[in-house]
Structure 1
């Protein structure tokens, strides 16, 4: 199949599948399929902000109001839930995810912070419980945090963990396992050694050697140099089928915390094949076939708004893939680009960023032209941006596109936007820009920079309240699963991120009172930034984002009323029901 025909078939499948997105109401029956009553409905609809009950028919919300008027729609087949005062919200919409990376991480053990045998064994056991038997489990780079701390503290004689083979075998009897240490030394369990046909008789390769028991000569699982690299090269590349296994689990994890929609960094695989990239530009972009496969198998339990690489813009045009192509389940939401790694007017010590443009960034003049042309062709653009100088440049490139191109309804995004200035916040507000921020980045950044960021710039760092006040549309999200080097794992539970946004502290309450507390969000602002604002940003606010009659029935029910509870209670709040397309989802965790 040619790339052109393949992409066209892909789009046709998306559009045709819209007809099976949900059941239609049978005949002329006006009764509801589902009623939630005796509850507190926070609608995020300013026309009717609070209600007692909600009725759903098919995939749509048909009534929002008082208990008696909603219960009037009860019929013989209606499922009725008395929620006893629980809080009902629109389904959460995570405005920034890397779903494909998370699907790959499903098979990996997080190890960068591990330099303890017991902790390593516990982490392995958790992953082994979810991964199908016989499949490889990998992980890296163990002892990274400990090595970094030892170097920072000039600790002499640092000794990284050497795993005990028997201990690791005990928690991974049904999976071959290969790990890499921070210094590129490897460890394999007995299942992996057996599968690779490695034994005490195996000679050491040139440029490496196998770790052996000094008394018995038996292999101890340690692989040095070419020995580890050689085994790693023999591992099967991750297939689409394997990614689908991880994807089903990740989707259920997101549903379990009330997420019904995501804006994901994704890619059209056929367009990728047409490109000649100088670097791994698409390394964090989800293969669109994962979402299509989930949908085909009836496992797509998220609505997906895709941001695809800006480098493929001309290919999109050539294949007549128009802005917002797709439907209510999988759609093209815009183009994504990588800007900087902390380009600041004055570099900041301690945050680990090189104060340089991303390796994927083509240069300032070239990128300004990319934004101009993408906007001219009608595509919305979102750019990963961190430093205050880089943010200034990006806002100017957006402004230039607005000045030079015909007027249209735009949705330009500032993704992450950690550091900026009060002047640029005001400029961004006047331009009607969107800020996709991840609240967890704040406590992480505070821990890194300490007191090295001067007070003037600190006041406009992660300045979420100022952004809202200036007219910027603020979205909250997770950046799931975390940093590409695995040093940071992003919490994807919206209630965690709402806590960070409202308190501006970590989960221990540090720093006391919140870091620059004048930038705290109210819980109402945080809820809107997790529901209606992301829907508006993807041009879907007419169909989702609030509990409004006629909109899609994507709803979440919480165990506590976070509108009145103390922020620390958000961290103890559970999602009782996640409703998508009018159906209550089964979010029970599966164990292999």
Structure 2
């Protein structure tokens, strides 16, 4: 009996010893990543040795020794071999289907003259059927080597283009998306009398401009809302083209390390396309979609049923996009004072401000975030005024509204602190400074540029986060270029020395947050993504070099080495 008791107690002691030493059994990991610097954007531990995931969720982030306790024979191990990892990057303002369509249409982003555009379109005509529309975009007259002698308000006229396209309607979107260039055939289809002033007046449209020469002839430039005069005649994309554009956009995101995308303004058709892609398990980027404010019927439908917050985090619809002014490049941005290079011209109010107030009130009542496009200082001021009026009218509903202003590119100094005071988030695309600053000074003059343009650091210091991005396809999707602009305030050629208004540079930590945690905050998603934290989604971006320590002049050599979405490797750069 004593021997039996002795064996019993010996077994109990051994069991307690081994269980106390080994601790609770760790959950088995599907993926373990280590071997390079891992920047978490988590304030508790900013740099870790290893990350462990189970399916689509992060289990652990910390030291490698602890991480390996989660490993079993089924765990996939990724050795970074010195490469750097961050949370998956978030494109904070872009146009998803525009990204895909840009791959299928004429790309004019790199053109440096009007003649070059004419030559490119002439080649496209050779491959097109008579009557087939030729669509392209990306041109920007302020980036050309020279402006044509017969330019009107700094823009080319259609004659050269029309001469090489007699049988094909052509429409070429400005890089900003806020103007377009039509040939004679396109204007003929639209019912515009190309050779005389008669018949044109009735086509003037509020919030836009049909640009004309001294004789009253339309030059082919359609600014802001006037674009609809041509755009409404362009045939809708076929289902086949839409599907191809969607697939190309997904691939482009993965190649650029983008795992989430704030789609700045979608209509009924795109919503259907996205829902179908999700059902077909093709939605392999997390879309945070803004309803286009141009469609009141669509908004009323969504107000009735309320926001859709996707439990699978693939397609969420809980915001509204309002287009309230134009762009600096097309002189459509709405200014408090006239354009320096076009006296008497203030830009365009492309949406009545009473509509902004009405939508802000509906957003508060129905639970929708309002995101208003504003580039000029007048537009920013007017929108802040309308937001503030809505908050005052419905004070009990303004808590955690997270209303946004998209671009917030040019601000009156008095309005800079109002963003933080009102809790309004600026979604600013840093790459616009690299592309625009060298000519934007011609539009605004030195004083307005220095006091109110691209005011990143002033806004951050006021206590409000910034959502970064590219506004693709206005700019290429490349986040490396936008991060470089954020920290250098230089063109992509590295000029000027020290950067434009260097006091407004972001630190590298601020820049990374603007593409991760702060961008997630701008979509109410900071609790599920934006940092490498246990319990969040397993979305990661891996780079060939350390973006937090490399010299600035080496930054643009950074490449995306791998993209991990939902715990799966979706892109790997070939060696």
Q: Are the equivalent residues in 1 in contact too, given 2:35–2:50 (CA < 8 A)? A: yes
Q: Structure 2 residue aligned with 1:305, among 274, 288, 297?
A: 288
TM-fit CA distance, 1:383: 0.3
Matching of residue 478 in structure 1 with residue 467 in structure 2? no
Structure 2 CA distance for aligned equivalents of residues 550 and 250 of structure 1 = 28
Query: Gaps (5+ residues) in structure 1?
Result: 1-27, 129-134, 166-176, 188-206, 209-224, 226-231, 271-286, 483-489
**Secondary structure of 1:391 counterpart:** helix
Partner of 1:344: 335
RMSD: 3.8
Q: If the length of structure 2 is used for normalisation, what is the TM-score?
A: 0.74
TM-fit CA distance, 1:140: 6.2
Structure 1 CA distance for aligned equivalents of residues 490 and 122 of structure 2 = 27
TM-fit CA distance, 1:288: 1.5
Partner of 1:392: 381
Structure 2 CA distance for aligned equivalents of residues 391 and 573 of structure 1 = 34
Query: Gaps (5+ residues) in structure 2?
Result: 1-24, 173-180, 187-193, 196-219, 221-230, 327-332
Could you say if the C-alpha distance between residues 330 and 522 of structure 1 is closer, same or farther in structure 2, counting changes exceeding 3 Å?
Answer: same
**Secondary structure of 1:474 counterpart:** coil
- Structure whose alpha-carbon radius of gyration is higher: 2
Partner of 1:95: 92
Q: If the length of structure 1 is used for normalisation, what is the TM-score?
A: 0.72
Q: Which moved more, 1:292-301 or 1:73-82?
A: 292-301
**What pairs up with 1:285-364 in 2 under 5 angstroms?**
287-310=270-293, 311=296, 312-318=298-304, 320-322=305-307, 324=309, 327-341=312-326, 342-350=333-341, 355-359=346-350, 361=351, 363-364=352-353
Partner of 1:585: 570
Structure 1 CA distance for aligned equivalents of residues 491 and 140 of structure 2 = 24
TM-fit CA distance, 1:53: 0.8
TM-fit CA distance, 1:102: 2.3
TM-fit CA distance, 1:255: 0.9
Structure 2 CA distance for aligned equivalents of residues 123 and 395 of structure 1 = 46
Q: Which moved more, 1:368-377 or 1:389-398?
A: 368-377
Aligned length: 479
TM-fit CA distance, 1:372: 1.9
TM-fit CA distance, 1:445: 2.8
| CA offset digits 1:193-248 (Å, max 9, x no partner) | xxxxxxxxxxxxxx99xxxxxxxxxxxxxxxx9xxxxxx99996412331111110
Q: Are the equivalent residues in 1 in contact too, given 2:564–2:570 (CA < 8 A)? A: yes
TM-fit CA distance, 1:150: 3.6
**Secondary structure of 2:60 counterpart:** strand
Q: Are the equivalent residues in 1 in contact too, given 2:306–2:367 (CA < 8 A)? A: no
**What pairs up with 1:95-494 in 2 under 5 angstroms?**
95-111=92-108, 113=111, 138-139=135-136, 148-151=147-150, 160=160, 184=183, 237-267=236-266, 269=268, 287-310=270-293, 311=296, 312-318=298-304, 320-322=305-307, 324=309, 327-341=312-326, 342-350=333-341, 355-359=346-350, 361=351, 363-405=352-394, 406-407=396-397, 408-450=399-441, 452-455=444-447, 457-482=449-474, 490-494=475-479
Q: Are the equivalent residues in 2 in contact too, given 1:351–1:448 (CA < 8 A)? A: no
Structure 2 CA distance for aligned equivalents of residues 544 and 140 of structure 1 = 34
**Secondary structure of 1:75 counterpart:** coil
Partner of 1:200: none
